[in-house]
């Protein structure tokens, strides 16, 4: 089994260009189904989740080619409207294909996306919203059988009781195939939603309001292929910043919009880091031990992102002072805590709360990733720890990072991937 070998306790120094955003590329690739013809998506990261999505597009009948960081999807001839369980199981966020297939073909069949390491991942908001647009969706033996009603999909006001990222995206795609105007009230405001709006506009869709709680789509017009560049991955960026915060040193990031990381930057500054943004470069300097920063509560954007919770915790666990984390978004997102404890971290968990008491300096250990961001957090902790840390469970990390070891080495880290 391959693993990351990290020699910690040395400050970082260097510059890295952040990969394209996983959580933007995935819905954009699904949205390419809406337009017959070849669309080009640039800055598309090489991730196993992206490969799984490309496999689904090919299975549906698309011609898919990758050249460097550009992926070209020709959705002229769709041959299927069903996604087998074997591919759905790879990645639960493939539920986004429900809206895309309903919009393009008026029907879709996919297996119920299960839960994951983070706990149950319900899709009740997705289904209720698509039904409100006129989709008839039957749930039979774990499969979702959907088709546009007799009158097709029709636009209307949709209210989301939770600003769900996936539900907002699913409704945006289905609404492109609905007659009339759809208004999503209570929409998620994540930057990835704005990126999806940007791509849909390139296809000729009439979409507005992304980034605000009200997104409007006027559907029914035929769409054409387009070209688009995916935004930088703000969570990968947060990972590299927290790595530098944990190890100390000075790093520069390019390829992402610092404005998408405000909540994370605020925490790092409160912990004692210096952050500067100039043009396209985001730099961070960390000297000495990180301080405790009171409370960190995960919340929908622009609140503190749940995907950065483990990563920031790993950095603060090796500092001084206490920080209370409250994970409000998912039921089971503390798998990394036991592994951090093996490195000497002092963390008490009670339900959604985790109290981190800075241990001054962690010690290298053998640790195992149990989920994508928890695995990245263990690498962050290893960089700040004395001695050698070995991180296994790399398939989790490959879902969201093109090459974590490569990017950390570009920042001066002593990290190698040892094939196993
Ligand atoms: C997206 O997941 C991201 N994934 C997640 O990133 C991210 O953690 C999450 O948004 C929150 O920001 C992708 O974009 C592919 P939600 P999503 O629907 O859309 C509840 C990573 O590490 N909910 O915004 O599934 C849900 O249980 C991944 O890159 C319902 O109750 O998240 C959760 O508590 C992990 N019913 C809350 O809403 C529904 O129908 C937010 O979930 C849908 C969601």
- Ligand 1 atom with the smallest distance to the CA of 300 is 12
Q: How confident is the model at residue 220 (pLDDT cuts 50, 70, 90)?
A: confident
Last residue within a domain, chosen from 205, 229, 253: 229
The Å distance, Cα 164 to ligand 1 centre, comes to 6
pLDDT of residue 120: 83
Among the three residues 229, 258, 280, which one is the final residue of a domain in this structure?
Answer: 229
- Residues spanned by the domain of 302: 3-18+232-418
Does 272 lie in the same domain as 207? no
Q: What's the confidence (pLDDT) of residue 121?
A: 87
Look at residues 206, 229, 252 and tell me which one is the last residue of a structural domain.
229
Q: What residues contact residue 289 under an 8 Å CB cut-off, 6+ apart? A: 272, 318, 319, 320, 358, 360
Residue 55's nearest CA partner among 30, 28, 37, 34 is: 30
302 and 410 belong to one structural domain: yes
How far is ligand 1, taken at its centre, from the CA of residue 136, in Å?
A: 24
Alpha carbon nearest to ligand 1 atom 44, residue: 164
Residues 190 and 98 in one domain: yes
Q: Which residue's CA lies nearest to atom 18 of ligand 1?
A: 164
Q: Which of 329, 333, 404 has the most ligand 1 atoms within 8 A of CB, as the residue to mutate?
A: 329
User: Rounded CA gap, 22 and 37, in Å?
Assistant: 23
What local confidence, expressed as pLDDT, does residue 133 receive?
98
Nearest to 127 by CA among 171, 89, 83: 171
Averaged pLDDT for residues 266-290: 95
**Which residues form ligand 1's pocket by a CB distance below 6 Å?**
22-23, 26, 93, 121-126, 162, 164-167, 188, 306-307, 329-330, 372-373, 400
> Is 68 in the same domain as 35?
yes
- Mutation probe of ligand 1 site: the residue of 24, 94, 125, 166 with most atoms within 8 A of C-beta: 166
Using the mean position of ligand 1's atoms as its centre, give its distance from the Cα of residue 158 in Å.
Answer: 18
- CB of 153 closer than 8 Å to CB of 173: no
| CATH number for 285 | 3.65.10.10
pTM for the model stands at 0.97
- C-alpha 86 to ligand 1 mean position (Å): 21
Distance 166 CA to ligand 1 centre (A): 6
Per DSSP, which regions of 227-352 are E strands? 227-229, 249-254, 274-278, 281-286, 294-297, 322-326, 346-350
Q: Which of 20, 21, 22, 23 for a ligand 1 pocket mutation test, highest count of atoms within 8 Å of Cβ? A: 23
Q: Which of 309, 330, 305 is nearest to 233 (CA)?
A: 305
- Write out pLDDT tens, residues 80-126: 999 999 888 888 899 999 999 999 999 999 998 877 888 888 999 99
Name the residues annotated as catalytic: 116
The answer to whether 362 and 381 are in contact (CB under 8 A) is: yes
Taking only the tens place, the pLDDT of each residue in 209-219 is 999 999 999 99
Spatial CB neighbours of 305, under 8 Å, sequence gap ≥ 6 = 234, 235, 238, 263, 264, 298
Asked whether the beta carbons of 21 and 307 are under 8 A apart, the reply is: no
* Residues 153 and 106 grouped into a single domain: yes
DSSP string, 16-71: EEPPBPHHHHHHHHHHGGGSSSEEEEES----HHHHHHHHHHHHHT-EEEEETTEE
What residues form DSSP beta bridges with 229? Answer: 42
The answer to whether 419 and 23 are in contact (CB under 8 A) is no
Tell whether 243 and 148 lie within a shared domain: no
Min mean pLDDT across 2-11, 86-95, 329-338, 381-390 is at 86-95
User: Which residue's C-alpha comes closest to atom 35 of ligand 1?
Assistant: 307
Residue 150 burial (10 A CB sphere; 0-12, 13-18, 19+): exposed
- 62 and 211 in one domain? yes
Q: Is the pLDDT of residue 397 over 80?
A: yes
Q: What rounded mean pLDDT belongs to the chain?
A: 96
Q: What's the number of domains the chain is made of?
A: 2
Tell me how far the alpha carbon of residue 165 lies from the centroid of ligand 1, in angstroms.
Answer: 6
Residue 50 sits in the same domain as residue 96: yes
Please list the residues that pair with 232 across neighbouring strands: 20
User: Cα(193) to centroid of ligand 1, in Å?
Assistant: 13
Q: Find the helix or strand (DSSP H, E) in which 397 lies.
A: helix 394-398
State the CB neighbour count (10 A cutoff) for residue 403.
14
Which atom, in ligand 1's list, is nearest to the CA of 373? Answer: 22
Please state, in angstroms and rounded to a whole number, the distance separating the CA atoms of residues 314 and 382: 9
Statement to judge: residues 14 and 43 lie in one domain: no
- From 99, 165, 174, give the residue whose CB has the most ligand 1 atoms within 8 Å, as the site to mutate: 165
Query: Per-residue pLDDT tens for 176-191?
Result: 999 999 999 999 999 9
**9 and 52, same domain (yes or no):** no
Atom of ligand 1 nearest to the CA of 188: 24
Q: Could you tell me if 292 and 381 lie in one domain?
A: yes
Atom 9 of ligand 1: nearest residue by CA position: 165
Same-domain pairing of 13 and 130: no
């Amino acid at each position: 089994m391959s693993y990351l070998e990290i020699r910690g306790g040395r400050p970082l120094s260097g510059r890295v260009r952040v990969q394209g955003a996983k959580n933007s590329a995935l819905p954009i690739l699904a949205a390419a189904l809406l337009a017959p013809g070849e669309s080009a998506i640039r800055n598309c990261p090489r991730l196993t989740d992206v490969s799984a999505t490309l496999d689904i597009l090919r299975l549906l009948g698309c011609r898919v080619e990758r050249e460097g960081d550009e992926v070209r999807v020709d959705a002229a001839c769709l041959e299927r409207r069903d996604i087998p369980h074997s591919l759905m199981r790879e990645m639960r966020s493939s539920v986004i294909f429900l809206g895309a297939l309903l919009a393009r073909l008026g029907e879709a069949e996919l297996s119920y996306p299960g839960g994951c390491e983070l706990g149950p991942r319900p899709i009740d908001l997705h289904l209720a919203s698509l039904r409100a647009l006129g989709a008839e969706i039957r749930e039979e033996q774990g499969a979702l059988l959907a088709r546009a009603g007799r009158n097709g999909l029709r636009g209307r006001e949709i209210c989301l009781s939770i600003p769900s990222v996936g539900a907002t995206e699913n409704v945006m795609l289905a609404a492109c195939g609905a007659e009339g105007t759809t208004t999503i009230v209570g929409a998620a405001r994540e930057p990835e939603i704005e990126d999806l709006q940007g791509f849909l506009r390139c296809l000729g869709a009439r979409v507005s309001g992304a980034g605000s709680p009200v997104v409007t789509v006027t559907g029914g017009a035929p769409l054409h292929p387009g070209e688009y560049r995916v935004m930088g991955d703000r969570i990968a960026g947060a990972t590299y910043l927290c790595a530098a915060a944990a190890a100390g040193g000075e790093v520069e990031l390019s390829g992402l919009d610092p404005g998408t990381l405000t909540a994370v930057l605020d925490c790092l500054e409160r912990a004692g880091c210096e952050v500067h943004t100039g043009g396209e470069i985001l730099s961070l300097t960390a000297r000495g031990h990180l301080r405790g920063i009171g409370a960190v509560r995960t919340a929908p954007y622009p609140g503190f992102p749940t995907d950065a919770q483990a990563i920031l915790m790993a950095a603060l666990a090796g500092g001084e002072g206490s920080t209370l984390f409250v994970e409000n978004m998912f039921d089971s997102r503390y798998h990394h805590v036991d592994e951090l404890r093996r490195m000497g971290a002092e963390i008490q968990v009670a339900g959604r709360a985790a109290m981190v008491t800075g241990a001054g300096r962690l010690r290298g250990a053998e640790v195992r990733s149990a989920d994508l961001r928890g695995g990245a957090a263990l690498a962050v902790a290893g960089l700040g720890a004395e001695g050698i840390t070995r991180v296994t469970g790399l398939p989790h990390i490959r879902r969201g990072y093109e090459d974590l070891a490569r990017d950390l080495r570009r920042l001066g880290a002593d990290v190698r991937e040892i094939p196993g």
